[in-house]
Amino acid sequence: MVLICLVGVGWCSFLAFYDLTINSFKRLIVKVILLGLASLFIYKLWVYFRRLVKSFNNVPALEINHLGISSNISVHRFLKWNQISHFTLKTVQMSSGRHSKIYAHTYDPTKSMKINTDQLQIDKDELLTILNQKINDL
């Protein structure tokens, strides 16, 4: 994915700056769209490099302990066990395929957490069982 993003940034940048004279409004729109695509590729690169740095620094993607659940997959989020009401598993169809996510529903809906199970080395059903056991033990 990193290679695809690098190629995408290079390609979009080349096409956007190939002809520096803007002869018409249509060319301007095309260049703005290409620069937007290049920005999207740069953002994706940033996300992938952050994940890579976290893996080199041995930062676990998901931590489950007696205090609560901590997710470091994209952004650090921590929920205490007493904040969580229940967990649900959803499979979402996206253009890149089917992705499984576990949702930690909280009593305050603004603090709910989404765990992308495709990023973890544990089976989604096994993780859901562990999480439900933890919440039922309290």
The 10s digit of each residue's pLDDT in 4-62 is 777 777 777 777 667 655 567 777 777 778 778 888 888 888 877 877 777 777 767 78
pTM, 2 dp:
0.56
Token duo for residue 56:
């080199």
The domains of the chain are located at 2-56, 62-137
DSSP strand E in 37-76: where? 62-64, 68-71
DSSP H stretches of helix in 18-123: 25-56
